[in-house]
Structure 1
Amino acid sequence: MTQLMETFQTHRSDLWTAILQHLQISLISLLIATVIAVSLAIWLVQYKRAAEIVLQMTSILQTIPSLALLGLLIPLVGIGTLPSIIALVAYALLPIFQNTYVGLTSIDPSLEEAATAFGMTRTQKLIRFELPLAMPLIISGIRIAFVLIIGTATLAALIGAGGLGTFILLGIDRNDMSLIIIGALSSIILAVLFSALIRRFQNLKVKTIATILIALGVLFAGGATINALTHQKKELVIAGKMGAEPEILINMYKDLIENDDPTINVTLKPNFGKTSFLYSALKSKSIDIYPEFSGTVLEELVKTPLKNTNKEQVYQQAKSAIKAKDNLDFLDPMAYQNTYAVAVTKEFADQYHLTKISDLSRVSSKIKAGFTLEFLNRGDGYKGIEKKYGVSFNVKSFEPALRYQAIANGDVNLIDAYSTDSQLIKYNLVTLRDDQHLFPPYQGAPLIAKGILKKYPTVKKSLNKLGNKISDTDMQEMNYLVDVKNVPASKVAHDYLTKHHLLD
């Protein structure tokens, strides 16, 4: 409990920001879904077959995995709030449409006949008694939809939309239960409070509810306009993959760019997600810069075979290939290499005399591997190990941070890793030598969207200050400070730049 309170005090301002972001995304999504679903239900009351088709379509939307839907939306609409809202609206349509349609079609036919006999028009019947009678069911559908939205909106953090998901993702990545509890508990409290608030709407008149919805629409539209007007100055968006290392690097990028040109405002989006999300976002210009590695550029982005394993030549090959394919700029690389590795506990390595990957063939039946999805599906990952080393294992897939917990708990005994991961020290793990030279060189460098260097000419000089800087030891020590000692990534980044005289 003490640690939970300390974490809350440390992240209090960030928590309020996350709550506001979460509420904004959730309420906008609910408002849009309500207008669409209620309008459709009212229109289709007289068309039973069409209503059944729409009901099936909204049911199908709910079966699409949220991560898959976000992945499909990124190339079309970019990252951030917009794809999050589209996905949340899609998930909220079913309960609102279904309850509204059932409420309207369950009204006693004798009431309809009496209203017709009194000369009421379709609109008059709808406003005077159909909607009031159906209101308890409609509000129930809206409540169900909002609880669903609040829970699902935590995934918005994966694509840079913020919200309470940032606390949960950061907690998983740092193995910090306090952050996970704060994010999850805040989400639960929001769902309970607003569920109770929405319930009170069923006692309001239809005109009052319509007025509230219009007022909310005007409020959100006005807020969006003000936000657009206040962001007219020069702004760069820099994102990073999950983990401490990308967060440290993007904070270095921010400090260097703003130090050399104070007129540029840099917005950071840490813990953004997997390589594919960032790459799609960069090509669509939803973000401007993110740290990438030469081996990943060749293997995953341009899918070009390595010509050799010389790190300088691999970098030049990656730089030329990504420029030719997508017109993206790959700046000067840093000194360290964050290459792939496979790791076991020291006890397991000692017990079976394991020093290199080829040794695993002797104990393949005893191996319980835990790999990330990205490593599982890469030619320079598990697929390459199967092909080049002629071995296969019993494999489970894990999120990056969870695989370390799995090997610490004994659930697996072999994992993929990055050579600069601090957890290798924390959990006393041994990396096995890549004796068949499967893993290509992985030099990190800023990958930059088309046209950014022309628009911001100082950026290239600023970021190239990191060229040939940061050793393997430097990076692992900085990762350790963030992951284990809980030092903010921004401070670790600034301290390194100051120590090495890279800032004025």
Structure 2
Amino acid sequence: MTILWNTFLDQRVELLKALWEHLQISLTALLIAIVIAIPLAIWATHHKNIAEFLLQITSVLQTIPSLALLGLLIPLVGIGSVPAIIALVIYALLPIFQNTYVGIDEIDPSLEEAADAFGMSRLRKLFKVEIPIALPVIISGIRTALVLIIGTATLAALIGAGGLGNFILLGIDQNDTSLILIGAITSALLAIILSALIKFLQTARLRTVIATVGVIIVGFAGASTYQAVSQPKENIVIAGKLGSEPDILIHMYKDLIEDQDKSVTVTLKPNFGTTSFLFNALKSKSIDIYPEFSGTVLESLVKKSGQTTNLSAHKTYVKARDALKNQFNMAYLKPMAYQNTFAIVVKKSFAKKYDLKTIGDLAAIENQIKAGMTLEFINRTDGLKGINKKYGLNINARSMQASLRYEALNRGNINVGDAYSTDSQLKQLNLVMLKDTKHVFPPYQGAPIMSEKLAASHPKLVQALNKLAGKISDEDMQKMNYEVNVKKESAAKVAKKYLISHGLLRDAK
């Protein structure tokens, strides 16, 4: 309990930010769903055949797995809050539409006849008779939709929309139960509080309901307007992949940029997703900068030309830099010293038992291999595909989230996994990296990637980030990852401590 409380105190600022993002996404989706579903259901009460068709459609939409729906939306509307809101609206339509339709359709016919006898117009009857009678059922549907939305909105973190899901994903990645609990408990409390508010509206008058919705809309509009007005003219958005290392790097970028140029502020989007998410976000200008590795650029992001294997670290970087500039008009700044290369790892006891020193040694025990690897590694040519091809292996790996495959290795559920050479878990779990004698893994030096336009218009920004060129050794990076993952220090604190201790940032004290 003490650890949970200390984590809460340490993360309270980030938690408030994530809570606000979660609330924005959830209520925006709910309001849009209400505006679509309620009028449509009211209209459908006078068109029974179409009503049944619409109920079937909304039911089918809700059966689509949330991850699949987000994946389908990304090519259409990009990443961030927009696809998340669209997906949440789709999930909220069924309970609101169904309850509104049933609530109005099941009104006692004698009441409808009485309203007609008084000469009420259709619109007047709707607002004076039908909606007031059906209101408790309608509100019940809205309440169900809200709880569904808040729970599903945690997945928005997977596509860079932020919210409380960031804490859950980060907790899973760092094997930190406290972070997972903070995200889950806060999400549950948010659902309970808002559900209680909506339950109160079930017994309220129609005017009260309309006034409450109006206040929410005005409040959000006001807050959004204030954010837009107060937002500085120069705001640089920096994103990072999931994990402690990208989180440390983007905090370094933020500190260096804001120290160099006081007219610029930086917004960070940690745990943004995989390589393809980030690169597409950069191309669509959803973000401005993110750290990427030279080997990843050559193997996954650009069209290859000429020799791309067995190159030195410098030549790999130069080739990646030139390809980004020529093919995407992007700038790839000077790289850091360390190389966060892929690796195949096994427990030390397993390596000793079978005398495993190189990846090729796995051929002798191929029928005993139980592999677990990240989905990205499994599907990359500089990952498992390349390993199987160059070493003549036929390893079939189960896809696992990064931290979970370390847990599986530690427990013995798997005996072979992928890793990054600077991961803290290598030291923590006493793992051995098998030597890549056939050079499947190219050099991986990290550097900031951005548009040429941004680099040209912000020379101070480039100057600030280039302070990291040639800095950070493999040992430095592994130590910092250890401090975040094992000692549970914040990435921001670890990043700033390194910059100050190496004379790259002035100590604010």
Which bracket does the TM-score occupy, shorter chain normalised?
over 0.9
The unaligned stretches of length 5 or more in structure 2 are none
Partner of 1:413: 415
CA contact (8 A) 1:38 1:96 kept: yes
- Which runs of no fewer than 5 residues in structure 1 stay unpaired? none
Does residue 262 (structure 1) correspond to residue 266 (structure 2)? The answer is no
What fraction of aligned residue pairs are identical, expressed as a percent?
60
Correspondence for 2:31: 31
| 3-state SS, counterpart of residue 11 of structure 1 | helix
Structure 2 equivalent of residue 482 of structure 1: 484
| More divergent stretch after superposition (490-499 vs 168-177) | 490-499
Range 403-412 or range 58-67, more displaced: 58-67
Deviation of the 1:50 alpha carbon: 2.7
Query: SS of the residue aligned with 1:468?
Result: coil
Report the residue type matching 1:439 in the other structure. Answer: F
How far the C-alpha of 1:173 sits from its partner, in A, is 1.5
**Paired residue for 1:102?**
102
1:438: how far off?
Answer: 0.9
* Structure 1 residue ranges, 4+ long, deviating more than 6 angstroms after superposition: none
Supply the distance in 1 between the matched residues of 2:330 and 2:66 (Cα, whole angstroms): 29
Q: Please show how residues 359-438 of structure 1 align to structure 2 within 5 Å.
A: 359-438=361-440
Contact 2:251 2:492 in 1 (8 A): yes
Deviation at 1:303, TM superposition (A): 4.5
Q: CA deviation at 1:447?
A: 0.8
User: 2:490, 2:219 → 1: CA distance?
Assistant: 35
> Match of 1:335, SS?
coil
Q: Letter of the 1:483 partner, please give it.
A: N
Asked whether the 8 Å contact 1:239–1:268 carries over to 2, the reply is yes
Q: Is the 8 A contact 2:309 2:439 kept in 1?
A: no
SS at match of 2:447: strand
Distance 1:498 1:142, change over 3 A: same
Moved more, 402-411 or 490-499: 490-499
Match of 2:287, SS state, is coil
TM-score scaled to structure 1, two decimals? 0.95
How much has 1:74 moved relative to structure 2?
4.3
User: 2:463 & 2:432 partners in 1: Cα distance?
Assistant: 38
Match of 2:474 in 1: 472
RMSD: 1.8
Question: Does structure 2 retain, via aligned residues, the 8 Å contact 1:355–1:433?
Answer: yes
Q: Distance in 1 between matches of 2:274 and 2:256?
A: 25
Shift of 1:103: 1.6
Of the candidates 336, 350, 353, which is equivalent to residue 352 of structure 2? Answer: 350
Q: Is 1:161 aligned to 2:161, yes or no? A: yes
> Residue 147 of structure 1 aligns with which residue?
147
Displacement of 1:450: 4.8
The Cα of 1:132 is off from its aligned counterpart by 2.0
For residues 91-240 of structure 1, the aligned pairs below 5 Å read 91-240=91-240
State the partner residue of 1:498: 500
Deviations 1:443-495 (A, max 9, x none): 11101135211332211222122122211111111111111112222222222
Q: Deviations over 1:115-160 (max 9, x none)?
A: 2233221112211221122222211211111111111111223334
Give the superposition deviation at 1:90.
1.8
- In the alignment, the residues of structure 1 paired with residue 8 and residue 252 of structure 2 have an alpha-carbon distance, to the nearest angstrom, of 26
**Contact 2:408–2:414 (CA under 8 A) maintained in structure 1:** yes
What is the total number of aligned residue pairs between the two structures? 504
| Matched residue, 1:308 | 309
Q: Matched residues in 1 for 2:9 and 2:398: separation?
A: 37
CA drift of 1:356 comes to: 0.7
* AA matched with 1:251: H
How far apart are 1:394 and its partner, in Å? 4.1
Question: Residues 180-223 of structure 1, C-alpha deviation per residue, up to 9 Å, x if partnerless?
Answer: 11211121122122222211212122232122222221221122
CA distance in 1, matches of 2:331, 2:308: 21
Q: Is the Cα contact below 8 Å between 2:298 and 2:308 reproduced in 1?
A: no
Is residue 232–residue 264 contact of structure 2 (8 Å, CA) maintained in 1? Answer: no
Q: Distance in 2 between matches of 1:439 and 1:387?
A: 13
Cα distance in structure 1, aligned partners of 2:71 and 2:463 = 33
* Partners of 2:147 and 2:176 in 1: CA distance: 26
Deviation, structure 1 residue 296: 1.0
TM-score, structure 2 as length reference: 0.94
Q: Sort the Cα spacing of 1:53 and 1:328 in 2 relative to 1 into closer, same or farther, 3 A.
A: farther
Worse-superposed segment, 6-15 or 365-374: 6-15
Amino acid at match of 1:198: I
Pairing 1:16–2:16 present: yes
Residue 107 of structure 1: CA displacement? 2.1
1:267-319 C-alpha deviation (Å, 9 max, x unpaired): 11111111111111111111100000111112211242653322222212211
Name the residue aligned to 2:322. Answer: 320
**Which residue identity does 1:454 align to in structure 2?**
A
Residue 358 of structure 2 contacts residue 435 of structure 2 at CA under 8 Å; is this kept in 1? yes
- Residue 307 to residue 21, structure 1, CA distance change in 2 (3 Å): closer
1:261-280 matches, within 5 Å, as 261-280=261-280
